[in-house]
Structure 1
Amino acid sequence: MSPRRAAVLRDGGGEQSLRAHLIATAERMISEHGTIGLTVRGIAREAGVADGVLYNHFADKEELLAHALRARVRAVERGLSGLPEPGGGTVEGNLRAYITHGLDLHRAVLPAFAGLLAQPQVLARFADLGGPGENWRDQLIGYLRAERELGRLAPEAPVDAAARMIVGVCHEAVLSLLFHGAVTPDAVPVAPDEVDALVAAVLDGVGR
């Protein structure tokens, strides 16, 4: 987009339109190239605006990157299968679906987060953008608590601990691929039989 076109976007749609354009541009750059080396100048050039324009719409680079990172996560989530509802199907099958969803999500977004480890302010801003119950971890905890209320898990089942176990496996599996430079669209961080083993390990502790 040329600077002239960006100005038209700003004037025709209001300030929020150009702000959304900048977020979408940064999100696309993260999707295509990751976050390492991502600069304000690079985002501005890709968006077709002067460098200083970004600071008319964001307090700083960290705010823009946090919003772009959130947009990237949401884009990945839209491409994944929906999560099962409590009370439907079997707990075993539903947990497999949650674990597979989590592995696919982490495989897609963790490289972007890893590129920002040296910029903790971006990650802190990103964390502040999410509302309660929005992310996969919160949805997993909510699902397990609901199943406990429905009586499909033991009344005293430590579901928060079970969720931490599942989240930890997803983190560890994808981080292992990342450290070996093997995070690719077709990489499988955990084999299906290992997912089954994780489900069994969780339910041995919380199943009726």
Structure 2
Amino acid sequence: MTKALERREKLRADLIQAAEQMIAARGLAGLKTRDLAREIGCANGAVYNLVTDVDELVLRVGSRTLLRLDEALSAAVSAGEPSPREALVRIAIAYCDFAAENLQLWRALFEHRMAADKPLPDWSVNDQMQLFRHIYQPLAALFPERSPEELGITARSLFSAVHGMVTLGLEQKLVAVPLPALRKEIATLVRAMIDGLIAQAA
């Protein structure tokens, strides 16, 4: 790699890191390329020599967030050998805790919208879909008779239920729920859903 390419890659990494810090501090709406350029010491227009556009920059930050979320979910089930049911409970609680501890970056994952005619790049879709293995694998152990398609739908439904509780529970409004209570309610929800699915299968 030439010196020029090395400098460009370092500046690009600095840009993504600065964007991550800015979103964490200000939220997605507070992300300003002019401020980023000043932060990393380049001209405002030079930002677009490092990333295609703001969408790519937000998605690159999102990939870093998803990687850390992946690590948090993996760590949640690494201690001991929880049953598939309890693994799903641990994963759900870990998801809640990660959202609470990384609120603005977590929100940015869902607040960011691409233009209707602009598809997500394959690398970003892959980053997102990789996380579903944490839900899919315990479900496959619990329901071996289900097809991959059925398991995929169940995994998404379970995620949607937990995500909805986390989203509303962490809102800084009247619906906000204290974190210990939210964690407890999420655990109750996941156990109830799994027990209901087991009963239905029987």
Trace 1:145-156 onto structure 2 (pairs within 5 A).
Answer: 145=140, 147-148=141-142, 153=143, 155-156=145-146
AA aligned to 2:7 is G
Q: Is the 8 A contact 1:154 1:206 kept in 2?
A: no
> What RMSD in Å do the two structures reach over aligned CA positions?
3.6
Question: What secondary structure, in the 3-state scheme, does the structure 2 residue paired with 1:36 have?
Answer: helix
Residue by residue over 1:45-78, the C-alpha shift from the partner in whole angstroms, topping out at 9 and shown as x without a partner, is 2222210111111122221221122223324544
AA aligned to 2:126 is G
Structure 2 unaligned residues grouped into runs of 5+: none
Residue by residue over 1:148-188, the C-alpha shift from the partner in whole angstroms, topping out at 9 and shown as x without a partner, is 5xxxx45248533432232112221122135544899x745
Matches of 1:133 and 1:179 in 2, distance apart?
23
AA aligned to 2:39 is E
User: Residue in 2 aligned with 1:162?
Assistant: 154
Seen in structure 2, the aligned counterparts of structure 1 residues 65 and 89 have a Cα distance that, compared at 3 Å, is closer
Residue by residue over 1:13-52, the C-alpha shift from the partner in whole angstroms, topping out at 9 and shown as x without a partner, is 3321111111111111112221113121121122222101
What's the % identity of the aligned pairs? Answer: 20
Is 1:50 matched with 2:39? no
Trace 1:1-16 onto structure 2 (pairs within 5 A).
Answer: 11=4, 13-16=6-9
**Residue 61 of structure 2: which of 63, 68, 76 is its match?**
68
Structure 1 unaligned residues grouped into runs of 5+: 1-9
Shift of 1:126: 6.8
AA aligned to 1:48 is G
Shift of 1:125: 3.7
Matches of 2:108 and 2:188 in 1, distance apart?
28
TM-score (norm 1): 0.71
TM-score (norm 2): 0.72
Q: Is the 8 A contact 1:35 1:112 kept in 2?
A: yes
Answer with 103-112 or 174-183: which moved more.
174-183
Is 1:206 matched with 2:176? no
Q: Would you tell me which structure has more helix in proportion to its own residues?
A: 2
Shift of 1:82: 1.2
Shift of 1:197: 3.9
Q: Is the 8 A contact 1:44 1:51 kept in 2?
A: yes
Seen in structure 2, the aligned counterparts of structure 1 residues 16 and 134 have a Cα distance that, compared at 3 Å, is farther
Matches of 2:30 and 2:127 in 1, distance apart?
31
User: Residue in 2 aligned with 1:113?
Assistant: 109
**Residue 30 of structure 2: which of 30, 33, 37 is its match?**
37
Is 1:140 matched with 2:135? yes
Q: Is the 8 A contact 1:92 1:199 kept in 2?
A: yes
Residue by residue over 1:81-114, the C-alpha shift from the partner in whole angstroms, topping out at 9 and shown as x without a partner, is 61437xx431222121121122234443442235
Seen in structure 2, the aligned counterparts of structure 1 residues 191 and 143 have a Cα distance that, compared at 3 Å, is closer
Q: Is the 8 A contact 1:23 1:64 kept in 2?
A: yes
AA aligned to 1:169 is A
AA aligned to 1:203 is D
Q: Is the 8 A contact 1:25 1:43 kept in 2?
A: yes
